[in-house]
Amino acid sequence: MSRSVMDRLKDKVCIITGAGSGIGRASALMFASEGGTVVVTDINAQTAETVAHDITTAGGQAIALAVDVGDAGRLEDMVQTTVKQFGRIDVLYNNALLVNADYVMRDLDLLKLDPEVLYAHVRVNVLGGVLASKLALPHMLEQGGGSIIFTSSGSSLGGDVTAFSYGASKAMLNWYVQAIAASFGKQGVRSNAILPGPIQTPSMKAWATPEMDAAFMEVLNAPRLGEPDDIAALAVFLASDESRYVNGVLYRVDGGMSCTVPFINVTRKALASFTAPPETT
């Protein structure tokens, strides 16, 4: 019998990283509202606590853990604590990203590429999720299955004129998403990634100017900018058994931003300039 839409994650123990804000927070709340038990982790202990508290006061199940995904010891503790407390790991959602304003400013010019900035992005954005997967996988394999989800980025699929270390780290992450899918799919562990376009989270709001938001609206094939819940909804699907035959997929969730030929707005303007043909009698 199929499950109701409110219990798609019933009996599932789900770890989410970077869950104190933005997409991770929205996912934690939505996972819990679908009956999942959520291990809310973030480098910021306070925000993780707040999200876990919001879940439990709404009647859901959650605990909070302070976890810097760039610290292998904390990842080990995250996995051990989850297994000790709940006996299993059904879902690992690797969502955290490096947040560092100084590194953003040192990553604006390819001619000044700073290896320290690149390594920092790889340590958090790539290794953070890959090492967490390495630690969670033995438990998933023993259980006979599990779902690993990554938040990658639309930036991983194309060239850019800035954020070189960020984009490269997400492109590298895509490879691991598919390598994990290939390595463990036959044993029931699935690995998929969500590649968001611009989503209105604290990180994005801190970075995007009103001019950039207007420019995003021009290239989106959607009536509004993206919200964290737009990503969380797909994460719930990937965490649930509804996606049981989905493995190794990189999902672009970008309001249709990448579905057109690049010169679509030129075509739109040209079409708008055409005058209607005169009516014939």
**Binding of residue 140 to ligand NAD (CB under 6 A):** no
**Binding of residue 151 to ligand NAD (CB under 6 A):** yes
**Candidates 166, 176, 245, 251; catalytic one:** 166
Burial of 222 (0-12, 13-18, 19+ CB in 10 A): middle
Residue 14 or 23: the one with the smaller Cβ distance to ligand NAD is 23
Residue 131 or 204: the one with the smaller Cβ distance to ligand NAD is 204
Residue from 43, 122, 140, 189 in contact with ligand NAD (CB under 6 A): 43
Phi, psi of 39 (to 5 degrees): -95, 100
Catalytic, 93? Answer no
Residue from 202, 219, 227, 233 in contact with ligand NAD (CB under 6 A): 202
Residue 142 or 218: the one with the smaller Cβ distance to ligand NAD is 218
Stretch that binds ligand NAD, among 20-28, 31-39, 113-121, 255-263 (CB under 6 A): 20-28
**Spatial separation of the C-alpha atoms in residues 25 and 232, rounded to whole Å:** 9
Which spans in the chain are helix H?
A: 22-33, 45-57, 72-86, 101-105, 115-121, 128-143, 164-184, 202-207, 210-219, 228-239, 264-273
Cβ 28 to ligand NAD shortest distance, Å: 11
Instruction: Tell me the number of residues near ligand NAD by CB under 6 A.
Output: 30
**Binding of residue 255 to ligand NAD (CB under 6 A):** no
Residues 153-172 that bind ligand NAD (CB under 6 A): 153
Angle at 205 between CA 199 and CA 206, to 5 degrees: 135
**Spatial separation of the C-alpha atoms in residues 82 and 72, rounded to whole Å:** 16
**Spatial separation of the C-alpha atoms in residues 8 and 6, rounded to whole Å:** 6
**Spatial separation of the C-alpha atoms in residues 111 and 161, rounded to whole Å:** 11
**Binding of residue 45 to ligand NAD (CB under 6 A):** no
β-pairing verdict for 91-94 and 146-151: parallel
Cβ 35 to ligand NAD shortest distance, Å: 23
**Binding of residue 95 to ligand NAD (CB under 6 A):** yes
Give contact residues for ligand NAD (rule: CB under 6 A).
17-18, 20-24, 42-44, 47, 67-70, 95-99, 124, 151, 153, 196, 198-199, 201-204
